[in-house]
Structure 1
């Protein structure tokens, strides 16, 4: 791959090999999603993994939204 840019390589590739944050997969209301725990009671949605297409239109399922972790059975 060739990149034609005036940006210095340090700025271009910064964060490229950074370790991923602690995420886990949970199932809420039949939707399998990847979340990042904020505290022991709630998590932030990173992305939806397995769900019907209509679920993407629901603002409650938007990445960045918070979901409760209490009452979930754990990792899917």
Structure 2
């Protein structure tokens, strides 16, 4: 793989040797998200896992956004 960038290599590889943050999967309505828990019932979105195509355009589902979520729904 070739990476063409103007950034210094140290900046590109920053954090590469660190362990990733623990994530979990939650449902927010009809959207399945991978999040990093930041507090009880709150999480930072890492990525959208399952949704309708138009849900990708919703600004509140942008990776990095903070969401509130309920306990896992056992019926899913």
* TM-score, L = length of structure 1: 0.70
Structure 2 match to 1:23: 23
* Gap runs ≥5 in structure 2: none
The range that moved more, 64-73 or 40-49, is 64-73
Q: Could you say what the CA RMSD is over the residues aligned between the two structures, in angstroms?
A: 2.8
* Gap runs ≥5 in structure 1: none
Tell me if the contact between 2:27 and 2:69 (Cα under 8 Å) persists in the aligned partners: no
**How many pairs align?**
72
Tell me if the contact between 1:27 and 1:72 (Cα under 8 Å) persists in the aligned partners: yes
Q: Which has the higher contact order (CA 8 A, sep 6+)?
A: 1
